[in-house]
Structure formats: C-alpha cells, structure tokens
C-alpha cells in the first residue's frame, strides 16, 4: 500500500473481513436515516479504492462537497467501531466486562440501585475469574458510590468489605504495573540497541533491573505478577546474551499459560509472544529436537479459531512462525530448501502491511538475506540487506550494523574487489559511531580490507589464523552476539575447508543429532 493509504478510516475498512463488512451493513440498515445511507455510499466507495485518494472518492459521492467529507468520514468511523464492538463482544472478556459495567451505570442513573449492584457483583466475579483486576477497580468505585450516597441495606458490613477489597485490588494493580513497566522497558531497550555490547551496557541493564524489580516480586502468586516477572527476566537474560537463562524464563512464561489454560484465551497475544521467545531460545542454544516440537505446537495453535479470526493474533503468529522456519533452515544448513518460503512470506507482508510494524519487517528482511547468503545467491542477499541499510527508522542499531557486515561479506563472495575497501571503511565508521564494534567484527573487517592484497597462495593460512582467533573469542560472552546474527565460524570453515557453508552447518547438525540419539 502506498503512503496515501495512511488515512485511518481507509485503513480500518481495508482491515475488515467479509463477515465484518456484512455485519456493518446490517447494523446500519436496521436504523438507517438519510445520513446513514450516505455513509454506506462512502463505505462502498472506500472499499473499492486501492489507494486512498480524495479526488476519485468525491466523484463516486455525487452531491458531497469536500468540506462535508470530513464529518461524513468521522461518522462512518464511529459507526464501524460500534458495529465491531457489537460483533466482537462475545469473543472478548474485556468488551463483556465493559458492557456489564455500562449496564450497571445506566441502572444506577435510573435509580435502580439494587439491580445495578447485582450486575456489578456478577461483573466482579467474571473479572476475578479472568484476573482482570483493573476492571474490579471501576466496579468497586461504583459500588462505593452507591453505598455512600444511598442506603441500600444490602449488607451490614458492606463498607468494611468494600474498603478491604479496594485495598487488596489496589496493591495488586500497583505490583502488576511495576512489573509490567519493567518488562516493557527492558524489551524497549532491546528493540533500540539489541544485545549488550560491552560491560558498560551490561552494568546499565543490571543496575536498571536492581533498581526497578519490586522487593516482593518473587513472593507473588498471581498470574499477571508472574507473567511480567518471567517476561522481565526473559528480556534481561536475552539482552545479556545469557541464552541458558533466556531459555529458562521463556519456558516458565509458556508453562504459566499451560498451568492456567483459561488465560491463553484471555491473553492470547502474550502466549504467542512467549512461544516466539521459547523458539528463539531453542534456536540460540541449538536445541534442535525441542525447537521442532515447539514449532509444531505453535503451528497447531496458529490454526485455531482464536488466532485465525483475530487479525492481530493471526499476523503476529504468521510473523513468528515465518521467522522460526527460516531459523530452522539457518541452523540446519538447509538454506536452499528454505528459499520456497520467501515468496509466501513476501505476499503475506504485502497483504497485511497495515498490521505489521517496521521492526518486524526489518527482522524478516535480515533473515531472508541470510537464507540467500547461505544458499550462495549473494546478489539477492544484497538486495534484502539494502532494504535494511536504507531504512530511515531509528530501530535496532545491532541489525543495521550486521546488515552492513553481511553486505560486505556478500560482495567479497561475489569478488567485487573494486568496492570492498570502500565498503569496509564505511561499515567500520558506522559500527564505531554506533559504539557497536566487537573484537570479532574488527578482525573480520581488518581481514576483508587486507584480503585482496594477499596472494591466493597465502590467503588460506590467513583464513586459518582468523578462524582460530574467532573460535577463541567464541568463549567471550560479549562476542557471542556475532554468532547470533551470522554463523561466522561456519563461514570461515567453509573457506578453509573449501566446502559450501551449507554443507559445514548441515554436517554439524547431523553430528548433533547423532550425539542426541546416542545419549
């Protein structure tokens, strides 16, 4: 979709499923007036447009002037949302609770206090069962208002019970808010910077964690307290490249949902994110068998009605499963077998463009670039890397840096000797400016700059020296991020042993499977 398609009403209409469009038409026609018939005309006209453009739009709305269009669009937007609220209420606990609270409030305004309290009691039970404590705050506030302004005689010790309940809910909400803030801020740090680059980064993250982790966090038993605690430690471990700890807390995150399966429906997005984190942990640790089992479970879940019928969940699951499938081919060395995935991913990215944030697109472009790099199609690899290098958003410094490094390696493989030195200097300047250079990266850039001055007879010993250096540095955890973005050791081994990189990685995969089955 072009930039002209950023109109919010146009985006909303383009996001609607056939059933949602049909429901909207029925919803409007049940109480149609002259103005309502106009918004149906506007709805149909927008639905048929490929890109948002007011000139052809106004031609399809005879009698409507440009100054009237804004009010008409605003009215249509509100009516679509009202229609969706009615249609989706059965599938959403949040919408159901809001609806019950609205009914209770209407009854209260009508002076039917006992009826209002009865609905509030039921809403509170539902909220408690689904651990929606934020809604309980609203419910208790209305109950207190009714009890303080009107003598209902509903319960002799009502005031004491409501006060105690309000304090309990308030304490719970405060703890959940602090833990969810911590999880969100750690995740935000990773989105901006990627993994910790050095001890300075790690010290900052550890200090932030120590200062913001509630003292009583480990004593909490509630679902949300534990969810955000596990999320916090998942991101904390991932940033620090402690992949074993990352795996441990990603597993706790997913296990929490399996202990309380009702919450999978309530917090589907968090469950999907947890499965994605667990798959990433298996990938980082090369847990081949567990990776395959978790991916199959995730794919089965992605086909459930809960996911298929919700655009947000459907797209989220697609992005994470596509990423996992590419990861599988990268860690098993089956790069060429993974290439048929690319057209389908590209098509879905185009179809669901309005639902997908730029960060996800950057990550998938990088993964597809690595797929082509491992397959030996370096020209196409460069095309995908250019999309990242030319991106103007301020996201993932680490991804930007590694896109440049792999871009340089691809040109090296092609033999573009005339631009290697210039690209290497440019990549070095960029990574140094971002304070993103590790020793491995410096060694790689140094080798690439000097490689074309080394004779063919001497290049192999130089590669062997570099391989030994990199293998030694593999033990340094601040250097391990280099291996998360590209298997540099396997690439160097492919040069030294004169085998395709895919063969080197596939042989390691087979040996790992043999060891697993022999134990």
Domain end marker among 70, 90, 110 = 90
> Are 121 and 72 members of one domain?
no
Asked if residue 57 is part of any domain, the answer here is yes
> Are 358 and 501 members of one domain?
yes
Asked if residue 344 is part of any domain, the answer here is no
Asked if residue 122 is part of any domain, the answer here is yes
Residue 60 CA to its chain's centroid (Å): 39
Range of the domain at 26: 3-90
| CATH classification of the domain holding 366 | 1.25.40
Contact at 8 Å (CB) between 332 and 295? no
> Are 365 and 481 members of one domain?
yes
> Are 383 and 473 members of one domain?
yes
Contacts for 137-143 with beta carbons within 8 Å, 24 or more apart?
137/166, 137/169, 137/170, 137/173, 138/101, 139/101, 139/104, 140/165, 140/166, 140/169, 142/101, 142/104, 142/105, 142/108, 142/116, 143/117
Residues 6+ apart with CB under 8 A from 293: none
Domain end marker among 111, 137, 154 = 154
Residues 6+ apart with CB under 8 A from 22: none
**Distances from the Cα of 311 to the Cαs of 24, 77, 295, 357, in angstroms?**
17, 18, 21, 14
> Are 364 and 496 members of one domain?
yes
Contact at 8 Å (CB) between 83 and 19? no
> Are 37 and 71 members of one domain?
yes
CB-count exposure of residue 394 (10 Å: 0-12, 13-18, 19+): exposed
> Are 462 and 363 members of one domain?
yes
> Are 106 and 83 members of one domain?
no
Q: How far apart are CA 89 and CA 81, in angstroms?
A: 12
User: Alpha helix (H) ranges present in 130-261?
Assistant: 133-149, 158-193, 199-212, 223-239, 243-259
Asked if residue 160 is part of any domain, the answer here is no
Domain end marker among 90, 112, 134 = 90
> Are 85 and 100 members of one domain?
no
> Are 55 and 118 members of one domain?
no
> Are 127 and 84 members of one domain?
no
> Are 18 and 147 members of one domain?
no
Asked if residue 251 is part of any domain, the answer here is no
pTM of the model: 0.80
Asked if residue 319 is part of any domain, the answer here is no
Asked if residue 244 is part of any domain, the answer here is no
The number of folded domains in the chain is 3
Asked if residue 474 is part of any domain, the answer here is yes
Q: Could you read off the pLDDT tens digit of each residue along the chain, which spans 519 residues?
A: 343 467 899 989 988 888 899 999 888 877 665 556 788 889 998 998 888 888 888 888 887 888 888 888 999 999 999 898 888 877 788 888 988 999 999 998 888 888 998 999 898 888 888 888 888 888 888 888 887 776 555 555 677 788 888 888 888 889 999 999 999 999 988 887 778 877 888 899 999 999 999 988 999 889 999 999 999 999 999 999 899 999 999 999 999 999 999 999 989 999 999 999 999 999 999 999 999 999 999 999 999 999 998 888 999 999 999 999 999 999 999 999 999 999 999 999 988 888 888 888 989 999 999 999 999 999 999 999 999 988 877 666 778 888 888 999 999 899 887 888 888 888 888 877 766 667 887 888 888 877 766 665 678 888 888 898 888 877 776 666 667 778 889 999 999 999 999 999 999 998 887 776 555
């Amino acid at each position: 979709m072009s930039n002209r398609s950023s109109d919010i009403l146009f985006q909303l209409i383009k996001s609607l499923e056939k059933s949602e469009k049909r429901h909207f038409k029925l919803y409007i026609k049940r109480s149609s007036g002259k103005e309502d018939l106009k918004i149906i005309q506007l709805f149909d006209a927008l639905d048929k447009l490929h890109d948002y453009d007011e000139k052809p739009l106004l031609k399809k709305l005879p009698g409507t002037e440009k100054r009237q269009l804004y009010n008409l669009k605003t009215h249509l937007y509100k009516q679509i949302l009202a229609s969706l609220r009615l249609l989706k209420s059965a599938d959403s606990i949040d919408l159901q609770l809001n609806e019950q609270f609205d009914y209770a409030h209407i009854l209260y305004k009508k002076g039917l206090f006992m009826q209002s309290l009865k609905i509030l009691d039921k809403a509170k039970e539902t909220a408690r069962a689904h651990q929606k404590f934020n809604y309980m705050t609203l419910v208790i506030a209305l109950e207190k208002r009714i009890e303080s302004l009107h003598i209902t005689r509903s319960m002799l010790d009502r005031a004491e019970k409501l006060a105690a309940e309000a304090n309990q809910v308030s304490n719970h909400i405060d703890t959940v808010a602090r833990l969810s803030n911590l999880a969100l801020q750690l995740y935000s740090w990773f989105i901006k910077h990627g993994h910790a680059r050095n001890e300075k980064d790690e010290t900052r993250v550890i200090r932030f964690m120590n200062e913001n982790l509630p003292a009583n966090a480990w004593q909490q038993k509630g679902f949300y307290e534990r969810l955000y605690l596990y999320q916090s430690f998942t991101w904390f471990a991932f940033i620090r490249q402690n992949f074993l700890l990352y795996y441990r807390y990603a597993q706790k995150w997913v296990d929490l949902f399996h202990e309380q399966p009702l919450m999978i429906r309530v917090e589907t997005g968090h469950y999907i994110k947890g499965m994605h984190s667990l798959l990433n942990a298996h990938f980082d640790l090369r847990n081949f068998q567990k990776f395959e089992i978790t991916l199959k479970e995730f794919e089965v879940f992605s086909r459930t009605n809960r996911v298929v019928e919700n655009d947000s969940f459907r797209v989220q699951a697609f992005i994470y499963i596509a990423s996992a499938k590419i990861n599988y081919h990268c860690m098993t060395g089956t790069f060429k077998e993974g290439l048929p995935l690319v057209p389908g991913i590209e098509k879905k990215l185009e179809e669901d463009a309005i639902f997908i944030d730029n960060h996800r697109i950057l990550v998938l472009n990088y993964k597809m670039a690595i797929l082509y790099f491992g397959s030996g199609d370096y020209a196409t690899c460069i095309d995908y890397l250019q999309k990242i290098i030319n991106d103007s958003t301020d996201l993932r410094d680490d991804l930007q840096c590694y896109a440049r490094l792999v871009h340089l390696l691809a040109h090296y493989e092609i033999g573009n000797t005339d631009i290697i030195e210039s690209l290497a200097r440019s990549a070095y300047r960029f990574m140094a400016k971002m304070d993103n250079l590790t020793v491995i990266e410096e060694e790689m850039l140094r080798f690439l700059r000097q490689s074309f001055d080394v004779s063919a007879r001497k290049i192999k010993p130089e590669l062997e020296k570099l391989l030994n250096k990199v293998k030694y540095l593999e033990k340094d955890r601040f250097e391990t991020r280099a291996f998360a973005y590209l298997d540099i050791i396997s690439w160097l081994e492919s040069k030294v042993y004169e085998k395709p990189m895919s063969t080197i990685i596939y042989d390691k995969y087979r040996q790992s499977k043999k060891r697993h089955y022999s134990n």
